[in-house]
């Protein structure tokens, strides 16, 4: 009976600690005087988390910067003749610089981000980021919120998603 009691107690203790750890893991950002600080963890989809922050906190527009480890980043170089991005993916890199903006379009938040990634040989690649997943460790993203809601619209003939600003203020 003591063995059973000890086993059940141990299992409950383990389950409570696991649940507690999972509860702590759900927090990915905190409010700051100028916006938000995000700390993303291994396997987090960076663009999805920035988009979710914009939706959840109803951010009118923002700029952001970041650093951290990436398990995978896909850069895209825009081919103006084909009107599409030519992608290339790099694995196990460090994001030496990440910079972007948040605006809105008819579908919701529109995230535009560029960055520089380096590998273990200190070779750098960079450009427009199409996708980014956090690697071992973390990624820190500092979001500076703007008061004015900004929008992006597809402009022709390039079929590019361009930030719109109102100069008549």
- What average pLDDT is seen over the chain? 88
27-164: which CATH number, 1.10.10.10, 3.30.1330.80, 3.40.50.12160, 1.10.3720.10?
Answer: 3.30.1330.80
pLDDT at residue 7 is higher than 60: no
What confidence score (pLDDT) does residue 18 get? Answer: 45
**pLDDT band for position 25 (50/70/90)?**
low
Confidence of residue 12 (pLDDT cuts 50, 70, 90): very low
pLDDT digits (tens, 9 = 90+) for 136-162: 999 999 999 999 999 999 999 888 889
- Provide the residue ranges of all domains of the chain, joining segments of one domain with +: 27-164
Tell me the pLDDT tens digit for each residue of 80-119: 899 899 999 999 999 999 999 999 999 999 999 999 999 9
pTM of the model: 0.82
Element holding 111 (H helix, E strand): strand 108-118
Q: What is the pLDDT of residue 169?
A: 62
Return the percent helix, strand and coil in the chain, to nearest 5: 20, 55, 20
CB 92 within 8 A of CB 119: yes
């Amino acid at each position: 009976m003591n063995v059973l009691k000890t086993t059940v107690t141990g299992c409950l203790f383990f389950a409570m600690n696991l649940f507690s750890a999972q509860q702590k893991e759900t927090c990915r950002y905190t409010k700051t005087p100028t916006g938000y600080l995000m700390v993303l963890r291994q396997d987090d989809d960076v663009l999805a988390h920035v988009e979710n922050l914009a939706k959840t906190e109803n951010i009118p527009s923002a700029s952001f910067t970041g650093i951290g480890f990436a398990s995978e980043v896909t850069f895209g170089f825009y081919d103006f003749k084909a009107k599409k991005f030519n992608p290339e993916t790099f694995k196990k890199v460090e994001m030496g610089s990440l910079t972007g903006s948040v605006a809105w379009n008819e579908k919701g938040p529109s995230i535009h981000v560029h960055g520089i990634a380096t590998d273990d040989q200190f070779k750098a690649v960079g450009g427009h980021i199409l996708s980014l997943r956090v690697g071992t460790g973390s990624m820190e993203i500092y979001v500076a919120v703007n008061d004015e809601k900004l929008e992006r619209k597809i402009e022709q003939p390039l079929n590019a998603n361009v930030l719109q600003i109102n100069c008549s203020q």
